[in-house]
Structure formats: structure tokens, C-alpha cells
Amino acid sequence: MSAWWTVMRKELLDAFRDRRMVMLAFVLMPVAVPLLIAGLGSIGAKRQAEKLEKTLELPVIGVEHAPNLVAWLGTNDVRVLPPPADPDAAVRAQEHAVVLRIDAGYAEDWRAGRPASVELIYDSSRPMQSGATISRVRALLGGYDRQVGTLRLIARGIHPSVMQPLRVGDRDVATPDSRFDFAQQMLPYLLLLLAFIGGMQLAIDATAGERERQSLEPLLATPASREAIISGKILATAAFTLLSVAITLVMFRVVFAFVPTEHADMSVDLPWPALARLLVVVLPVVLLGATVLTALAAFARSHREAQGYLPLLMFLPMLPTLYLMVSPVKTQPWMLAVPFLGQNQMILRILRGEPVTANDWAVSLGAGLVLVLAVWWIAARLYHREQLAASS
């Protein structure tokens, strides 16, 4: 029996007896992550839908200047409110998403056939909260504008299409699976984060923890080579993390089966083959995380020091998402070879039901595994330092 296998089995046995670690990795995280995505996603979608469907409450300044417009708004599911004393302040304080001001000269302009002025008061720095309401009011005013304009043209004997040299039609080629919704934005990041640092506790416990508890020196006095010892610890961390990610993916399926989807674009439909493919995609990240964590923890003097690197590590899986935010470019083949970025792309393709070629798989997995080997080599070198065990 090889030494790495012995070490791996022992570390896993040790970890599975740590009730806190098991709860966190196999129950808490797998339930929390899908619930977080499903919960936030469905709340967001519901609120958006409510905003569009429920009666719009619109404070209007100068109701008396345009009774027809106000009456028309009323027939379009708008409840007109008396205006606040200071409309600008009220909008800024988010008491109202938008306030409509009808100009004092409205009636006069209207009768003269000149464009009559109305004004929307809103705060554009809050698109999430008020964006939908603003565009709804804009659309209503546009509709009134076109309706009256058409009537005026007809009254003058001109065909309304004169004012319409261009007709723009929409054809959205997105398949239902490729709609880019909240769940799809969050899922790759959370999945990669979990794959990368999900084994943190085990890795730290098996290296920095082993040293702190003074069991490393006797271990190094056995004939097992240091490469075998560190490989066993890395593989134990990776196996533990992979199981945690697998349970999380299954929980995604379970949770999304219960989320009401009538409001939402929550099209996270995860058939079993897709789950299996996602697991293969994150495999290099799992191994990379296990190796990096083990190397760091071997380098750190204590539990506490090892945990200090955590914020930095959490940032790494975020980088590709940030990069794509500032520079939303078309997917290039080389991206698949970049750790995290490549996995991010692969996960998105699988979620969207897009094809992944054998070549894509080879590039993504191959590049990931090469990096793992490089970090493994560094970790093994670190484990050969004399100070490793003797710094007590």
C-alpha cells in the first residue's frame, strides 16, 4: 500500500470525524449556496414583476393644467397622487421613484398645437430600485404622445405612416436556456469559489494544524517520503472538496425544483449529465485549491496565519468575472486555458446548453492540470525545508 494512499485515508477519516467540518462542507454550504441564489433570484424577479403589474402610484405636479392627460393615465392603471412639497428631495430620499411635473403653460401650448412640456423627476443613480418604474412612466407618456399625434395627423388628412419612415422589429435569438439571469451570473462564481477554497479547513488542519499539534515531526520520521505525505494530504483535501461540490450541485437541482418559476427567468435546469459535466469542469480548480491551500498552510506557521491568506484566495475566482465586467469581449479560445476564466466560460456554456467540443475539454482540463502540477512541485519543495518541522 503506497504511503500517499495511507496518508489520504487517514486525513479523510480524521476529517469525517470532525462533526463541525462535515456539517459545514456537506450540509450547510450545499444548502446555503443554492438557497442563496434561488432565494435572491426569485425575490428580485418577483419584485420586478410586481412593479410592472401593480397599480403605479405617480405624484403629479400641476394636475389642473392637463386634466385629459391625467384622466388618460388613470385609465392605464396609474393612481395619481398629490405632489410632495419638495419633489427633488422626495425622489432623492427614495420616497417616490419618479414625479411627473406638468408645465404651467401646458394648456396654452396644447391649444396652440405646440409641444406641451411635461417633466420627469427621477434619480438615475438608482437603476435597480427605480429603473423599471421610470421606463414604465416613459412608455405611458410616449403612448399618449403617439396616440394624440396620430389623431392630429388624421384630422389634417395625413396618413399616420408618414411619421413612421422606419419600422423596427425585434427578433431575440436567445434560447430560453441562454437568458442571462441572476442565477447564471452568480452560479459560476460561487461554484468556483466553493471548489477552490471549500477544502480550506481540511488543508489547514492537515498541515499547519498538524504542526501546531506537534504530530508532524514523528510523521516525518517515518519512511514515507515528503512527496507522498503532501500528495496524500492534497488528495484528501481534493476528495473532500469534490464531494462537497457534488452535494452542492445535487442540492441546486433539488432547490430549483421547489422555487416557483412563474415570475422568473430562473431557467437553471440542471439535468444529471450537465451536473456531471460541471463536476468535471471544476475538477482542476478543486485540485488547484487543495494544492495551493496545502502549500500555503505548509508555509504558514500556524492555523491563524494560514487563515490570514483566505481573503486573498477568495478574490482569485472573482477575477474572471470582474475582467468580463470591465471588458465584455467575445469568448476567445485562449480563455479556456486561463484558470478560473476558462472554467467560468465552460460553466456558462453548460448552463446555457451550448456545445462544448472535445478540444475545449482538452484545453480547459489540460491547462488546469499543468498548473496543478507546478503548484504541487512548489508545495513539495516547501515541505522539504528543514524549518518545516523544526521551528517549534
- Closest by alpha carbon to 7, among 188, 184, 236? 236
Smaller CB separation from another protein, 75 or 387: 387
DSSP 119: E
Instruction: Please select the residue that binds another protein; options are 170, 172, 262, 386, rule is CB under 8 A.
Output: 386
**Least distance (Å) between residue 222 CB and another protein:** 4
Smaller CB separation from another protein, 4 or 252: 4
Q: Kindly indicate which of the ranges 5-13, 58-66, 100-108, 362-370 contains the residues binding another protein, using the contact rule CB under 8 A.
A: 5-13
Cell numbers describing residue 249: 450541485
Would you put residue 113 in left (φ > 0), alpha (ψ -120 to 50) or beta? left
**Least distance (Å) between residue 232 CB and another protein:** 10
Helix 182-197, helix 319-326: angle, nearest 10: 150
Euclidean distance between CA atoms 278 and 350, whole angstroms: 7
Smaller CB separation from another protein, 13 or 314: 13
Instruction: Please select the residue that binds another protein; options are 76, 164, 222, 331, rule is CB under 8 A.
Output: 222
Smaller CB separation from another protein, 9 or 46: 9
**Least distance (Å) between residue 15 CB and another protein:** 9
Residues whose CB is less than 8 angstroms from the CB of residue 105 and which lie 6 or more positions away in sequence, other chains included: 116, 117
Instruction: Please select the residue that binds another protein; options are 32, 90, 224, 324, rule is CB under 8 A.
Output: 224
Instruction: Kindly state whether residue 169 participates in binding another protein, applying the rule CB under 8 A.
Output: no
Q: How many residues does the chain have?
A: 392
Cα angle, residue 188 at apex, residues 183 and 192 outer, rounded to 5°: 140
Cell numbers describing residue 334: 485562449
Neighbours of 213 (CB within 10 A): 10
Instruction: Please select the residue that binds another protein; options are 113, 169, 223, 311, rule is CB under 8 A.
Output: 223
Smaller CB separation from another protein, 9 or 47: 9
Cα angle, residue 125 at apex, residues 122 and 126 outer, rounded to 5°: 80
Subset of residues 180 to 219 that bind another protein, contact rule: CB under 8 A: 210, 213-219
Interface contacts to another protein, rule CB under 8 A: 1, 3, 6-7, 10, 13-14, 17-18, 210, 213-225, 386, 389-390, 392
